[in-house]
Structure 1
Amino acid sequence: MAPSAAIQRFWRILVAGTFGGALLVHVVSGPGIAGGGPRRLHLTDLEVGRSVTVKQVGSAFSLHLALAEGGQPQRIVELNLPPGFPASSRTYALAGEVSYRTDRQSRGYLESLSLFADGKGTMASRTLGTGWQAPLIGRSRWRRFALPHSLNTGDAGPLKLVLNAVLPQGGTVELRNLKVVDEWGTRQGAWLSLEETDRLGAVVGTMIGLWGTFLGIGRALWQERWAGALFASGFLWMIGGVFCLVVLAWACLAEQPWWLRQQLSLCGILLLLLGAGFCRWARIRSNHKSVRSLNKTRRT
């Protein structure tokens, strides 16, 4: 076997092995196996309120509710929870995406009620804060919301969650992508909270997009050196992907929350995939350039 062919084979095995290992780590470290994490809700999991209109396409669905003035809570859905919930922590949340239209001067909100056994009362959570818990004011296209709950040590988990909407001046509310999350927000010893991790993922995605734009511009400005810049970028991205996976292994050993493990695994896989693709593309471009140069030499 020629040295160049041996190097190519080694490179392919290295890329395939690293990417396969990354996928395995992502599955093993994911919320479903390692504990905690979101569980997407299906329409069959829910008891929908009488005034709610359901729009369904395949397995995806949205819930639409029109509210009159008065500020009375209107039930959207009820969800029966499995015994032993939450399984991995003392915090949980009902989350999803909301779109709404109401008066700009009114302060509407979503409300989640945890119902407990043996008449132990209810625990409420409302979107009257900031970020994912911001109130419903004016109108908004789809944005994320979360209604977190926290149990005291020794308390049994709830049997049911009830989701209500309150719009004092009336209006409409639409929900989609509902999920119940076992472990929410932050915990003692966590490197980052859920919202901080989400912002970090957005920054990484933006940087990848900007770097791709830079390479696109560079192709027009530096045609002779573009293949080299493409290969260098791919190699650096692969190093970044391996770094994310190393930190992921550390996070698993340190028993970090699901949102941190999930973000690290996704970033690692994405960087490895893009880096390997860029390196391959650069090699193809270099080979084409060599063939063109050889043909030009033969003509002369």
Structure 2
Amino acid sequence: MGIETFAYAAFFLTMALTYAVICLGLNLQWGQTGLFNVGIAAFVAVGAYASAILTTPPTPDRVGGFDLPILVGWAGALVASGLLALFIGWLTIRLRADYLAITTFGVAVLVQLAMLNLEGLTGGPFGIGFVPKPFESLQGDAIAFSFANLGVVILAVLAVYLFLERLVRSPWGRVLRAVREDEVAAQALGKNPMRLRIQAFAIGGAIMGLGGAVQAHFIGFIAPENYLPMLTFQVWAMLIVGGSGNNRGAILGAVLVWGVWAASAAVIEQLFPSGSQARAASLQIVLIGVALCVILMWRPQGILREIKTVSRHALGTVRNAGSR
């Protein structure tokens, strides 16, 4: 019983942290830049499929299968999702709010249709199986295997978190927030809001793709049904609950919402053992929605609110002015 508990705890945290990587990408796009992306599933799917195609062994019924190391697959996921986000951003970033949301949702639908119909590359509705997992040699020892995979995912989250923290505290990050708050003022200071938005959208999309790749290698199987619009809803709920604009909030929100999702699935299974999957999924959405409403009533800015970051030079100027 103890071994099963530890193994499940490791599984739970690993899944939650894969969503945390995706949520960190969304936080750069929305929390720092104000870009309303509802096509998250598209970038996650492209990253997952790119990594799976690069790392799985070749098969006679599918193009690809290069049997490369997992790290190469993750790098490929970053590049593929980043290029897609760069292209979509270049085409659509002039759109605002609801128009950008509609466009990115259309991209997600297009990517899903491509996954379903490009059977020679993606496996079609059957997906891609036998995606290699880190430390496969440890599969005989459930505890060691689970915690080894958890350690890899923790390192991935930590690397993305530190990268984004350094990025958003840099002059580039401060200009992003300036564009988000007052585009006209930023433009008057000689900044190019369009270019900055495209850059943030591309980097955020690349991070989402990395999250999809990490998740694919942990699960070991991917299919188009894994990347339905529900994924977008989950990630948005995670960011809103944790705190938009705060990278630690994005990670915390991912763990909390995934916990509610997993717990609600267990409760629904006990209450409706013979219920359909559609009913169970609907009840889970309702529970997440209720939790989201409670959080927003309690803390409208999320559990961890955005930390205001100012330039050290500006802070020094303010202090000197105060001393005079």
Pairwise same-fold verdict (TM > 0.5): no
TM-score, with structure 1 as normaliser: 0.29
Q: Which has the higher strand share?
A: 1
Does 1 or 2 have the higher relative contact order (CA < 8 Å, sep 6+)? 2
TM-score, with structure 2 as normaliser: 0.28
Q: Which has the higher helix share?
A: 2
